[in-house]
Amino acid sequence: MDNVTIEKLKKLVRNVPDFPAKGVQFKDLTTLLKNGEALNVVADALVELYRGKGVTKVVGIESRGFIAGAILASRLGAGFVPARKPGKLPAKTIARTYEKEYGTDTIEIHEDAIGPDDVVVIHDDLLATGGTMHAAYELVKSLHPAKVYINFICGLSFLDGRKELPADVEVKTLFDF
């Protein structure tokens, strides 16, 4: 993806002050996702990052990670695994509780969602402080997949969320603020 395209994508992201709490400058990617051309650029760029890497599962983090995560899984011919809030998945789950920018939360995945032969991309829309992705990574790793990649559409580099993620795991964002 060239810088012109990245700049166009960044301009489509809406800044929402004081959401969900006073002092937070929320980056709303729904304004990017509602643009069909931009959504296809994002999908194409994500696929290029993982083409030929043998990805068998994409884990999408609730809820915005479901959007591009499911598209990525479909285009790679991989399965899609939702990482959800407690009580939303119907079968036996494993869970992790974690700190967020403005509180704590818990995510779960089905305990049989990933196996030892799986190559997994964990996807979310935005990397902020890294707490949600760190919890998702711990869940996935506890199921002993062959390989794990981490991916975001964008990152907030000023929050340095990358430091919360394992140094030995490839972490990619399409662009950063």
Return per-residue pLDDT of the chain as tens, 177 residues. Answer: 666 688 999 999 999 999 988 988 999 999 999 999 999 999 999 999 999 999 999 999 999 999 999 999 999 999 999 999 999 999 999 999 998 766 799 999 999 999 999 999 999 999 999 999 999 999 999 999 999 999 999 999 999 999 999 999 999 999 999
Give the structural domain span for 105. Answer: 54-176
The answer to whether residue 29 is domain-embedded is no
The answer to whether residue 46 is domain-embedded is no
Point out which residues pair with 148 in neighbouring strands. 120
Catalytic positions are 64, 101
The answer to whether residue 6 is domain-embedded is no
The answer to whether residue 25 is domain-embedded is no
Q: What would you measure as the largest C-alpha separation in the chain, in angstroms?
A: 46
The closest alpha carbon to 86, from 116, 110, 118, belongs to 110
The answer to whether residue 169 is domain-embedded is yes
CA distance linking residue 38 with residue 42, whole number of Å: 6
The answer to whether residue 80 is domain-embedded is yes
Q: What is the dihedral of CA 45, 12, 155, 87, to 10 degrees?
A: -90
- For residue 83, give the CATH number of its domain: 3.40.50.2020
When divided into structural domains, the chain yields a total of 1
The answer to whether residue 30 is domain-embedded is no
Distance of CA 45 to the CA centre of its chain: 14
pTM for the predicted model, two decimal places: 0.95
